[in-house]
Amino acid sequence: MIKQTHTKNQTERPRVEKTDSAWREQLTAAQYEVLRRKGTERAFTGKYFDEKRKGMYRCAGCGTELFSSETKFDSGTGWPSFTEPADRANVELHDDFSYGMHRIEVTCSACGGHLGHLFPDGPGRTGDRYCINSCSLDLDEH
């Protein structure tokens, strides 16, 4: 049975709407590929997988607060990993059946940008591991 994840999404939130060419202009090629084309950066190549500084990871597309460094942990996967979002309303979860498997895709609820995937093997209370591309994030240090 497939876990129903859509029901928790906040559909009434305001969304950042931009044309494809506006996104291309704003984002780097790597950010565009991940956020707008649902690409995945290669493991151990992103700028944040080994990041230890404290702060808030914001959406690289629209600045929405996504993950706190407090919930970041070293998963050994080569991608930044978090046990939970800063605010559950700021991310949306979607069933993703690409590549012949069922995964849960994580997107920014404000701009719809692709962030990464959610896996059930996290070390925290919830067991969640948000596996996020560095490209999708901008660390706001504090």
Question: Rounded CA gap, 115 and 132, in Å?
Answer: 5
- Is 131 marked active-site? yes
Position 41, amino acid: E
Q: Which residues of 101-120 are buried (b: 16+ CB within 10 A; e: fewer)?
A: eebbbbbbbbbbbbbbbbbe
Query: How far apart, in Å, do the first and last CA atoms of the chain sit?
Result: 42
Contact 139, 48 (CB under 8 A): yes
Catalytic pick among 59, 108, 111, 131:
131
Within a 10 A sphere around the Cβ of 79, how many other Cβ atoms? Answer: 23
Closest distance between Zn ion and the C-beta of residue 16, in Å? 6
Closest distance between Zn ion and the C-beta of residue 19, in Å? 15
- Of the pair 61, 122, the CB lying nearest Zn ion is at 61
Closest distance between Zn ion and the C-beta of residue 102, in Å? 24
**Interface residues toward Zn ion, by CB under 5 A:** 59, 61-62, 64, 108, 110-111, 113
Question: Rounded CA gap, 94 and 89, in Å?
Answer: 14
Show which residues are catalytic: 131
